[in-house]
């Protein structure tokens, strides 16, 4: 008569041999684990754990079924045999982040928490599977494009007050072996910058005496970036504006200076050369020849394992450079603008999230001094720029959300009335327009026309609870493509039948969440990932919720870009659709888990939980 313990041990081992990632372990390790798993029988309706419970370990379903629900008791997933659950809580803080209960007679295997954590450390395959794909999203280091400016710069730049004599400033530059000085007041507030070139062309060549103040030859309001900007931003600014020195500031305080010499050990040739070529182009056709290389740029960046937010930032930088060059060409042809104006982008360009599939979404804010005759000029300017963008592959917006449409080419006062009316009367059209316009980002022109408008609108919107409620409801219309039994809800008909829409059901739900968080927290960030990070920093969402949502967003966006790169590599035009069969079992599992996180956060925001009142 066989030993029942031995029989159970053999049964569990045979079961584990068919379950990933246990099937990747050495046989002796698998035999040892089979003896460590504890068995638990649960009946229909019996609770396995609730949110906040301390988890004993990782659960694995041998037979039966488990329903996973969120904090509002809304169904998140229905799990069957060979599925694990509880790992999110174990990876985070050891407490359950969802509810779990049996839907029928179920036999569970429990891997103790200490054994789970040991395997997370010792088995790369185990760690990749249960860490929700974060190890797949490694940051690429060592390239200028992916470096943050704060990591590139030398801190504590040499500074002098504005009354410093030119001769003394020159001596400081010589003695410290630097090519520039920052001119500051009030312990670091930046007024301007002086370079060796300024010394030569503005002081020596002009015969100025050495005792005059250095403020006489400084460049006021120099080009500045924040420490969080990317190295690509730095190089693009230098190439497009033809400057050799860029100050790094936090608010109005200088924290560093970067020069072309500082960049000799870094390279970002592809995107930087495209920006340079665009800045030198004399016609839209010359620019179109440059943007024709965008698919290859995307394929190269994805192939180099660049983070998705870096890829989309670089792709957007090209669109920004095109827009600014077209504005310059338009003014060269039409003459100088009669009044101040500001060209803004919305949509994916506004959020700096462009991929290989982009149309144009833009608008114009005009100074209130603009006359009716001036409007004729801006009509021609808008047509010149939009036609040029279309020639460069940024196709006309199907919904005509462009500066060529008179409604989106108005004086600042009219724009204020637009936002006020959308907030006070939040009908469906107003909600749609407000959603688009909350993603506005200045591209070229007088930024003063937007700064107060953005903050005033956010404050007005946040104070209107009815408007916020409508915006939340509108944001929940796009849902992750989750089906039951660990499957996906794919497109039901048409050209993309049985495929996932990684835009509308993938990234858009997270974009919508980020927009609501920025509204509730009066956050001025426009980029989705930056909004999520800012929302966490200000307590708009919990730390664990923010980290889970950012991880989920990273994985979904990464999958979308890899799919587009694969299509380009195969000679196809990139789109946002992907058959689930293109993914491995591991990738499908991680992607579905990412969708579960998004759905959970949507449920939370729909119930008004985890947010500021």
- State the DSSP string of 28-93: HHHHHHHHHPEEEEE-TT-EEE-TTPBP-EEEEEEES-EEEE-TT--EEEEE-TT-EE-HHHHHHT
pLDDT at 3: 47
d(CA 153, CA 574): 37
| Residue of 305, 314, 167, 341 whose CA lies nearest to 230 | 314
CATH class of the 476-606 domain in this structure: mainly alpha
- 363 in helix, strand or coil? strand
CATH class of the 284-451 domain in this structure: alpha beta
Q: Residues 152, 231: contact at Cβ < 8 Å?
A: yes
Q: Would you say domain 148-263 falls under CATH 1.10.3210.10?
A: no
Predicted confidence (pLDDT) per residue in 364-383, tens digit: 999 999 999 999 999 999 99
Mean pLDDT by 10 residues, the chain (613 residues): 64 84 83 92 94 90 88 71 83 77 94 91 77 39 63 80 95 88 91 91 90 93 88 84 88 87 50 82 93 88 82 93 94 93 95 91 96 96 97 93 96 94 88 86 90 87 90 90 82 93 96 94 92 93 93 96 91 93 90 94 79 40
| CATH topology identical between 4-131 and 148-263 | no
Q: Which residues lie across from 126 on neighbouring strands?
A: none
> Which structure tokens are listed for 379?
């009509």
Q: Which residues lie across from 183 on neighbouring strands?
A: 160, 192
Predicted confidence (pLDDT) per residue in 248-294, tens digit: 998 889 999 988 766 643 343 367 778 878 888 899 999 999 999 89
Q: CB atoms < 10 A from the CB of 111, how many?
A: 22
pLDDT at 516: 94
d(CA 125, CA 19): 13
Q: Do strands 341-345 and 362-366 pair parallel, antiparallel, or not at all (unpaired)?
A: antiparallel
pLDDT at 609: 53
- 130 in helix, strand or coil? helix
> Which structure tokens are listed for 161?
């007050």
Burial class (CB in 10 A: 0-12, 13-18, 19+), 613: exposed
pLDDT at 486: 65
Please identify which residue in the block is written with the tokens 């090209």.
318
Q: Which residues lie across from 254 on neighbouring strands?
A: 249
pLDDT at 135: 35
Q: Would you say domain 4-131 falls under CATH 3.40.50.300?
A: no
For the chain, the structural domain boundaries read: 4-131, 148-263, 284-451, 476-606
Q: Sign (positive/negative) of CA torsion 25, 31, 36, 42?
A: positive
pLDDT at 485: 62
């Amino acid at each position: 008569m066989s030993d029942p313990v031995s029989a159970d041990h053999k049964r569990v081992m045979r079961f584990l041999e068919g379950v990933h990632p246990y099937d990747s372990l050495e046989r002796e390790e698998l035999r040892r684990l089979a003896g460590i798993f504890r068995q638990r029988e649960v009946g229909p309706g019996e609770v396995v754990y609730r949110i906040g419970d301390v988890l004993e370990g990782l659960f694995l379903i041998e037979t039966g079924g488990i329903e996973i629900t969120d904090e509002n008791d809304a169904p998140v997933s229905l799990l069957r045999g060979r599925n694990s659950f509880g790992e999110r809580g174990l990876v985070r803080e050891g407490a359950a982040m969802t509810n779990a209960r049996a839907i029928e007679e179920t036999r569970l295997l429990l891997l103790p928490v200490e054994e789970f954590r040991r395997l997370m450390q010792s088995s790369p395959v185990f760690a990749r599977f249960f860490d929700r794909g974060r190890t797949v999203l490694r940051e690429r280091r060592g390239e200028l494009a992916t470096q943050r400016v704060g990591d590139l710069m030398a801190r504590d730049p040499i500074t002098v007050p504005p009354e410093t004599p030119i001769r003394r400033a020159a001596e400081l530059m010589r003695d410290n072996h630097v090519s520039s000085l920052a001119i500051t007041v009030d312990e670091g507030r930046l007024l301007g910058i002086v370079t060796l070139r300024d010394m030569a062309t503005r002081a020596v060549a002009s015969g100025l005496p050495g005792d005059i103040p250095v403020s006489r030859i400084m460049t006021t309001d120099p080009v500045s970036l924040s420490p969080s900007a990317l190295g690509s931003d730095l190089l693009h600014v230098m190439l497009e504006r033809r400057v050799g020195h860029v100050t790094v500031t936090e608010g109005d305080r200088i924290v560093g200076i970067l020069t072309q010499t500082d960049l000799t050990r870094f390279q970002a040739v592809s995107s930087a050369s495209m920006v340079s070529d665009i800045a030198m182009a004399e016609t839209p056709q010359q620019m179109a020849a440059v943007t024709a290389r965008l698919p290859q740029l995307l394929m190269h960046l994805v192939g180099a394992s660049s983070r998705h937010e870096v890829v989309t930032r670089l792709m957007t930088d090209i669109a920004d450079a095109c827009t600014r060059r077209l504005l310059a060409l338009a003014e060269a042809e039409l003459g100088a603008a009669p009044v101040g104006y500001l060209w803004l982008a919305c949509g994916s360009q506004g959020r700096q999230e462009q991929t290989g599939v982009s149309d144009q979404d833009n608008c114009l804010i005009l100074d209130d001094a603009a006359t009716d005759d001036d409007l004729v000029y801006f009509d021609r300017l808008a047509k010149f720029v939009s036609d040029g963008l279309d020639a460069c592959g940024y196709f006309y917006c199907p919904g005509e959300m462009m500066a060529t449409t008179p409604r989106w080419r108005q004086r600042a006062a009219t724009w204020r009335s637009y936002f006020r009316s959308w907030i006070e009367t939040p009908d469906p059209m107003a909600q749609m327009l407000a959603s688009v316009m909350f993603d506005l980002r200045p591209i070229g022109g007088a930024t003063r026309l937007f700064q107060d408008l953005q903050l005033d609108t956010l404050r007005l919107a946040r104070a209107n609870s009815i408007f916020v409620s409508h915006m939340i409801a509108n944001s929940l219309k796009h849902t992750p493509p989750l089906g039951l039994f660990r499957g996906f809800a794919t497109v039901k008909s048409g050209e993309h039948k049985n495929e996932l829409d990684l835009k509308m059901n993938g990234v858009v739900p997270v974009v919508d969440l980020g927009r609501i968080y920025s509204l509730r927290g009066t956050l001025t960030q426009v980029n989705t990932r930056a909004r999520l990070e800012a929302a966490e920093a200000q307590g708009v969402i919990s730390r664990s919720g923010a980290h889970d949502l950012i991880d989920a967003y990273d994985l979904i966006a990464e999958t979308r870009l890899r799919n587009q790169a694969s299509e380009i590599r195969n000679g196809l035009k990139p789109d946002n659709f992907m058959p689930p069969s293109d993914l491995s079992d591991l990738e499908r599992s991680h992607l579905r888990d990412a969708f579960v996180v998004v759905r959970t956060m949507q449920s939370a925001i729909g119930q008004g939980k985890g947010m500021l009142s």
